[in-house]
Chains A and B, each alone.
Chain A
Amino acid sequence: MVHLRLLTDSGGQHAPENLPGLPSFTSALMDEGTTKRTGPDLAAEIERLGGYLGTGAGWDAAVIEAEVLAKDFATGLELVAEVAREASFPEPEVNRVRRQLLAEIVRRRADPSSVASEHFEGSLYGSAVYGRPLIGTEESLEAMNRASAVEFFSHHVGPAGATLVAVGDIQSDRLATAAEAVFSGWTGVATDETPRGAPLDLAPQKRLRVEIVDRPGAAQTAIRVGHRGIERGHPRWVQASVLNCLLGGKFTSRLNLNLRETHGFTYGVRSGFGKRLGRAPFVISTALANEHVGAALDEIFRELERLREEVANDAEVADTRDYMIGSFPYSVETLRGLAGRLSDLAIYGLPDDYFARYPEVLAAVSGADLLETARELLAPDRALVVCVGPDRELRPQLEDRYGANVSVVAPGA
């Protein structure tokens, strides 16, 4: 099999201020018709072979992805190139995709986990680009049309800033020849027109905020705790990754052992520093039994403070590093996994030997590094807490602990 991925510098970070979601909208439309084929014909062509063709936008890049049997490699590559170069944005498809995305927004609004994430990022970043949903809003989708998609496409999708990642049963020279053939003569988009995103320039967060999004009668409360974090290029990225793994990045992390295995408050809890070109959120995510929300938040804050106060013992640090080093091979065991790692090299400008050197870089992280990193990068006293659950049960627990910092807000407010 062969996995193909064309990355273009047309991700969510380039959304115009008045049209959040335009990069996703444009990307979703690119495989809905080209100058040569209708959308259904494109799908039929690839699916006939058992393959897959799809498009999508993340914050840092948009992607056109195909997967085919090795014998069908040429067809896969041809279709990827056709979508990148000759998307035609047929008017009826523009309107249909808009309706489909609007329905998706309506659907998500009933999902407590989506509501919590979206509200958390909205409240954290306000009107800055990360504060608005990648998919867009009902208002922005209503305002988008064929012209806005065509304009975004012509300004952001082109060879400059684009990378083709190919993984699988294919020889490099054959790949190079085939890529040359389908991409030669592709023009447009000078690099300097669309610089890769810089860290967001935002006023610092000043205090702890606790926001309740009321869901009367909900059987559980969806929780997000965190604050604005760091960009992928931050000098402490690797230390932050180890710190996070120890805190909430593996089954035996401090948070999971505490909240799940010691207290039985939750089925699971995870934390993460978002990986983006700009300052992505640092967030702890979980779903808690309603009556234990207050007590669980106490434990979460206790764990965050502990990381800033005490050096983790050598055995715990070593276990965490060894887990990250040892489990790395699984992440590149599949074609898709390997393509993801290679995409990171392209998007974040990492050196080609980055993953070869990754184990030794991880191995050098010490307990003292983690303490310093925690002091620099974790700010529990200025965290944002979002609780999506029944206000009636949550407010007494939260006001008791956080007093005037607690507010009840409408979703998305």
Chain B
Amino acid sequence: MAPDFAFASSLTQARLDNGLRVVLQPDRSRPLVSVNIWYHVGSKNERPGRTGFAHLFEHMLFQGSQNVGTNDHFAHIQQVGGVANGSTSFDRTNYYETLPSHCLELGLWLESDRMGFLLPALDEAKLQNQKDVVMNERRQRVDNQPYGRAFETLHELLYPDRHPYSWPVIGYMEDIEATELAEVHEFFRTHYRPSNAVLTLVGDFDPAEAMTQVKRYFGDIPDGRAEEAADGGPVGAPPPAVVTDTSPTRAVRSELPDDVNLPRLYMGFRGPSLSAPDFPAGDLYAMAAAGGKSSPLYRDLVLEREIAQDIYVGMLPLELESTVLLAMTLRPGIEPAEAEEMLLEKLAAWRAAPPASEELERALNKTSVAYLHEIESFESRADLLSHFAMYHDEPALIDSELERYARVRPEEVLEFAGSYLDPETAVTLWVLPREAA
């Protein structure tokens, strides 16, 4: 199957003198434009005891800058009928807005004002307000959510202490609470520099005109290294080295009592980086194993044996190394030990023989359709271009990504399972109803 799209030929790329990387992909099919910025900073740039910083910082970027009043960022965008948001992960933070195409300059102005002129507008009251908001976000998404603490617990167990993936992106409550304004300023100066960012535009614009506008708004923002070095501040180096130990983990088991009614099993492994050659094999493994109702794990454990209510296998794509995650919610009355045994049998089978070619074909086709969805809207296409620019140093890879997947042979999937999915290195975490734990 050769999905029918090509963006590489329409790309314009530039690197401004201050180091900002710019990617433009004109598409006149809709009167819209998406402005998308990635900063190469995530929770992995934090330190133990100071977690949640990158994400809290993302909130602060919506609190106004020198020329944009508190709360006016969204107001400016919404009053022209635009939509905007941002998100933080382990490796990067993104910000984006989609606007009617004649409002491109508004988007560029807002993004450049907060890249260049954020600090004068950041005060104690705004920080306290957003600390409260984020602590409520943590309660809503983690602490008061069934199974909400499972993922962070799994990562704590999977990665060694001080490894940058060993703490959660949203951070721990006491760390969020302890954040100080001075640290926010330092974090900004260290990470929110043009040379640490990718700006992507997708939509209805003339590339030459758009590039001129980009230069007008972003070109004068200093990268900051020189003057900071001069006044003795941080020089933009990454934070002190953290453990990135990749020695094999040992098998770990744990139980987490929670306010849930059905036990859920989480099993995690340390997998390859998202840019590693064997990453696609892992992704296809996950899709072949449990993607869709006709996948072998779903069919066997959910439909036939009725052990599980649902089953998930997936790769969390990360820059240093990815997390391979299996999760399975049990049916009422099923014994956890029995269910775990069955899942381990399945894993063993996948480590013993390559997937049948029709299983791999199904996985590839499903992956292709999912990818077509990702390039469908301007917003997610722009995000994908930023992704390739930042992690692979080549946005044009948006066109050939599926070929990486199509080349994967069954033996490579087997090799992946052999290398990474060793039960001797698995982290097994059971989330159990409180009374049973």
Contacts and interface: CB of A to CB of B under 8 A. Distances in A.
25 contacts: A40-B293, A43-B292, A44-B294, A49-B365, A50-B364, A50-B369, A52-B292, A100-B306, A106-B262, A110-B259, A110-B262, A215-B259, A218-B259, A219-B144, A220-B140, A220-B143, A265-B136, A267-B133, A267-B139, A327-B78, A327-B81, A329-B31, A330-B83, A330-B98, A333-B377
Given A48-B361, A261-B129, A335-B376, A319 B144 contact: no
B218 to A, nearest CB: 25
Instruction: Pick the most buried of A44, A99, A102, A267: most chain B CB atoms within 10 A of its CB.
Output: A267
Interface string A332-362: 0111000000000000000000000000000
Nearest to A315: B79
A110 B261 CA distance: 6
B352 interface: no
B309 A267 contact: no
Interface in A96-132: 96, 99-100, 102-104, 106-107, 109-112
Interface stretch (A56-64, A174-182, A183-191, A249-257): A249-257
Given A69-B1, A333-B30, A335-B376, A252 B71 contact: yes
A220 B138 CA distance: 10
A378 B389 CA distance: 50
A219 B143 contact: yes
Contacts of A318: 79
B303 A40 contact: yes
B75 interface: yes
A274 interface: no
A1 B81 contact: no
B366 interface: yes
B388 interface: no
Nearest to B81: A326
A287 B144 contact: yes
Interface of A: 1, 39-40, 43-44, 47-52, 67, 69, 96, 99-100, 102-104, 106-107, 109-112, 215, 217-220, 222, 250-252, 257, 260-267, 287-289, 318-319, 322-330, 333-335
Nearest to B139: A220
Contact of B294 (A40, A103, A250, A266): A40
Given A43-B292, A67-B369, A330-B377, A110 B146 contact: yes
Given A50-B1, A289-B136, A319 B365 contact: no
Contact of B80 (A43, A99, A287, A322): A322
Contacts of B302: 100
A109 B71 CA distance: 37
Interface of B: 1, 3, 30-32, 70-71, 74-75, 78-83, 98, 100, 128-137, 139-141, 143-146, 259-262, 291-295, 299, 302-303, 306, 309, 329, 331-332, 358, 361-362, 364-369, 372-373, 376-379
Given A100-B309, A103-B309, A107-B262, 15 more contacts: A40-B294, A48-B358, A106-B332, A107-B261, A219-B143, A261-B133, A264-B128, A264-B133, A266-B140, A319-B75, A319-B79, A325-B81, A333-B30, A333-B32, A333-B376
Which 10 residue pairs across A and B have the least CB separation, nearest first?
A326-B81, A264-B132, A50-B365, A43-B293, A219-B143, A267-B137, A44-B294, A220-B139, A220-B144, A43-B294
A325 B129 CA distance: 31
Contacts of B367: 50
A106 to B, nearest CB: 5
Contacts of B137: 267
A104 B331 CA distance: 9
A336 B134 CA distance: 32
A328 B329 CA distance: 38
A261 B130 CA distance: 8
A89 B361 CA distance: 30
A326 B369 contact: no
Given A96-B306, A327-B82, A327-B83, A47 B292 contact: yes
Contacts of A69: 1, 3, 369, 372
A57 B127 CA distance: 44
Contacts of A40: 293-294, 299, 303
Instruction: Pick the most buried of B1, B30, B292, B379: most chain A CB atoms within 10 A of its CB.
Output: B292
Given A40-B299, A48-B365, A264-B129, A220 B136 contact: yes
Given A110-B260, A326-B82, A47 B144 contact: no
B362 A50 contact: yes
Nearest to B72: A252
B293 A47 contact: yes
Contact of A287 (B139, B260, B362): B139
A305 to B, nearest CB: 23
B382 to A, nearest CB: 13
A250 B84 CA distance: 11
A172 B52 CA distance: 52
Nearest to B63: A261
Contacts of A103: 262, 309, 331-332
Given A96-B306, A261-B129, A334 B78 contact: no
B358 A322 contact: no
Nearest to A324: B81
B51 to A, nearest CB: 18
A164 to B, nearest CB: 21
A328 to B, nearest CB: 8
Contacts of B74: 250-252
A50 B98 CA distance: 29
A107 B258 CA distance: 13
A334 to B, nearest CB: 5
Contact of A251 (B3, B78, B260, B261): B78
Instruction: Pick the most buried of A44, A109, A328: most chain B CB atoms within 10 A of its CB.
Output: A44
A48 B357 CA distance: 11
A327 B82 CA distance: 6
A12 to B, nearest CB: 22
A266 B31 CA distance: 35
Contact of A322 (B30, B79, B139): B79
B293 A107 contact: no
Instruction: Pick the most buried of B30, B78, B303: most chain A CB atoms within 10 A of its CB.
Output: B78
A92 B303 CA distance: 11
Contacts of A111: 145-146
A48 B365 CA distance: 7
Contacts of A1: 369, 372
B176 to A, nearest CB: 12
Contacts of B141: 267
Contacts of A250: 74, 78
Nearest to A327: B81
Nearest to B371: A50
B81 A323 contact: yes
Contacts of A257: 71
B261 A47 contact: no
A323 B79 contact: yes
